[in-house]
Structures are given as structure tokens and as C-alpha cells.
Amino acid sequence: MSTAPSTPGGPSAAARTNTVTADRERVRQWEEFRLHGKVTGIKAGTAVRLQQMQHGSWKTLPAESVVNRSLDYSMRVKLGIRGVNRVRTVVAGQPSAPVTVTVR
């Protein structure tokens, strides 16, 4: 008998995944790049939020996308803080592993 918690009519939180990659590792300040992600255990149409590590904590940025029917997503991003930036996405409470983008 399974003791894993689950949501009514949905998969357990352990079955949810969110992976993301950046199309570039280096950009100029305010230059647009894209994040591409894939989810499992999360419904199409679910909002995708962007977060950036700032001063030791994750801050939500004003960028948003949605999960499509193929259970993936793409997001346009522009960053203004020069140097090494760590960003991640959060979908249905499931954060991705951070990706690093260097802003010149």
C-alpha cells in the first residue's frame, strides 16, 4: 500500500517534474534569450513563473508563460543585473533546477 500523498484526481507531488534550459549561457545586458522547459505530472494550461536568485533568496520576476499540450513551455527573458545570474522556473509549485546565464 502506498503512503505517498496525492492530490484528488492527480498525481503525487513526487511524480511532478520541471526541467528548464537556456538557449544561451552569455548575453548582453537586457538582451533577450529564451528558456525552454518540460514538465510531467502537471496539466497543460498551468502558469509558469520565472524566478531569479537575488541577495540569497528567489525573487519572482514579471515574466510568465503557460504549459502547452505537449507539456513543455518557452519563455522570453531579459536580465539587467550584470554578472552571473541564476534563474529558475516554477510550475504548480514545482521549481526547476537553476540555470546560469552570464550578463555582460
Planar angle of CA 65, 74, 98, nearest 5 degrees: 90
Output the pLDDT for position 60.
97
88 and 82 in contact (C-beta within 8 Å)? no
- What pLDDT, on the 0 to 100 scale, is given for residue 97? 98
Contact 51, 60 (CB under 8 A): yes
Residue 58 has pLDDT above 90, yes or no: yes
Integer Cα distance of 1 and 68 in angstroms: 33
Distance (Å, whole) CA 7 – CA 73: 23
- Condensed to tens digits (0 to 9), the pLDDT of residues 60-100 reads 999 999 999 999 999 999 999 999 999 999 999 999 999 99
What are the backbone angles phi and psi of residue 12, rounded to the nearest 5°? -70, 160
Residue 89 has what pLDDT? 98
pLDDT given at position 14: 61
Residue 77: the pLDDT is 97
| Polymer length of the chain | 104
Span 5-52, pLDDT tens digits: 444 444 555 689 999 999 999 999 999 999 999 999 999 999 999 999
pTM of the model: 0.83
d(CA 58, CA 53): 5
